[in-house]
Amino acid sequence: VSALASMRLERSDLHRGLEDPVLQSMSFLNEIMSRFPDAISFAPGAPHPSFLSGVDVAKYIESYVDHRCKNGVSPRLARQSLYEYGPSQGIINDIIAESLRVDAGILAKPSDIVVTVGAQEAMLLLVHALCPSQRDLLAVVSPCYVGILGAAKLLDVEVVAVEEAGDSLAFDQLARVCRVARKRGHRVRALYVAPDFSNPSGTRLTLQSRMRLLDAAEAEDFLLLEDNAYAFTADPLTALPTLKALDKTGRVVLIGTFSKVCFPGVRVGFLLADQIVRSADGSEQGLAECISLSKSMVTVNTSPVAQAIVGGMLIEHRGSFAELGREKSALYRRNLGLLVNTLDRRLRAATGLTRGVTWNHPSGGFFVRMRLPVRADLALLEISASKFGVLWMPMSTFYVSPKGGTDELRLSCSYLEPNEITEGVERLVRFVRSLRP
């Protein structure tokens, strides 16, 4: 046996997106957590471990196969379809469409859905399809999920930021961004927005802001890419309609994920794109169908085994995504409430201590945004981890501009136990007390 030789390549010969810090943010999390295994980590937005044990995938696959058999497919074919290549658009589109109907009142045709390898693939395929030239810009409500920024980087698509403003967004900036784009001969093709408890800031858009955003998309002629990853964590009594449910003119493409409600290792998400694409010869095709063509050259199809697990999980919960997520949603709300209340009690109680330290009070999602009187950068994180045993995520990762979020951090409560949250806040109190503005 001889060792393999390694050839040296020049970084400058690789795609320049690969150098972007955004692409390193996922591995950065793993790296810092493995270096400080005893630290309490408010860093990753990972699911609570209790939801990952005892997942009976065989049972869910059986439920899916049974469901197909009840609808007239032979048991042999229903089972065989799991082990074959499948249609690029997916095999559980009807089950997803039904869950959108029962949970959100969205009447989607299965043929307008593409089942993707996580929401991440949906983002990549959408940015690829909608921004074909240098003139096509992607706007994002900022700060935003790194997955969309990374997808745009890999595709060389220019991203422009529209800042959040309280529980709304800077509509005047949105209008300006569109105007400036037009002046440059460019166009804003789509705006990425997570209206329910966004990652990283936990912001939720009010109903009024949602309506205004739909009007703005119509007036400025762009699509809305709605990512509703955390909508399931809303208190059912105060849940707001998705943009897609409010969409009267077909401007919204919905991006969904099963990572939070099933489990992330299943790698299943979807997009609902019911827009119609006109060709020069007058023929028409659904946008979802168009996008499934590019999917067939990226991942061919989403694993039918993984789709069957998700399909079975939904069927076992009366076809409802909300029902499937109910227990998880309650646990995440409990954790978030505990984090916010403990911050309020412990950090605010120490008078003088909270000067220049502020945090928001989201009512759902996984995240709390905190502002410090100093730079919340990697050097400070290193100190926080090594001296105080507490980890968090610097917020600057989630901004388009390098100047964004430099004094902010993100705290995630999703995968901690209550005693870890309270102890973690005690450590944060000691860390914050040590800061010298």
Contacting residues toward ligand PLP, per CB under 6 A: 45, 118-120, 145, 147, 194, 199, 227, 229, 257, 259, 264, 269
Q: Hey, CA dihedral for 191, 197, 201, 206, is it positive or negative? A: positive
Which lies closer to ligand PLP via its Cβ, residue 30 or residue 419?
30
C-alpha distance across the termini of the chain, in Å: 59
Rounded to a whole number of angstroms, the minimum distance from the CB of residue 43 to ligand PLP is 12
Rounded to a whole number of angstroms, the minimum distance from the CB of residue 46 to ligand PLP is 8
Which lies closer to ligand PLP via its Cβ, residue 325 or residue 389?
325
Comparing CA positions, the residue from 123, 121, 159 lying closest to residue 140 is 159
| Angle at which helices 171-183 and 207-220 cross, to 10° | 10
The residue at minimum Cβ distance from ligand PLP is 118
Which lies closer to ligand PLP via its Cβ, residue 258 or residue 431?
258
The rounded distance, in Å, linking the Cα atoms of 48 and 25 is: 21
Rounded to a whole number of angstroms, the minimum distance from the CB of residue 40 to ligand PLP is 20
Rounded to a whole number of angstroms, the minimum distance from the CB of residue 119 to ligand PLP is 4
Count of other CB atoms within 10 angstroms of residue 254: 26
* 8-state DSSP, 259: T
Rounded to a whole number of angstroms, the minimum distance from the CB of residue 9 to ligand PLP is 28
Q: Hey, CA dihedral for 389, 394, 397, 403, is it positive or negative? A: negative
Rounded to a whole number of angstroms, the minimum distance from the CB of residue 397 to ligand PLP is 12
Which lies closer to ligand PLP via its Cβ, residue 194 or residue 288?
194
Which lies closer to ligand PLP via its Cβ, residue 118 or residue 325?
118
| Angle at which helices 418-433 and 378-388 cross, to 10° | 110
Rounded to a whole number of angstroms, the minimum distance from the CB of residue 200 to ligand PLP is 8
* 8-state DSSP, 347: I
Q: Show the tokens assigned to 63.
A: 């439920």
Which lies closer to ligand PLP via its Cβ, residue 145 or residue 388?
145
* 8-state DSSP, 18: G
Q: How big is the chain, counted in residues?
A: 437
Which lies closer to ligand PLP via its Cβ, residue 24 or residue 422?
24
163 three-class SS: strand
* 8-state DSSP, 344: I
Location of structure tokens 């705006």: 191
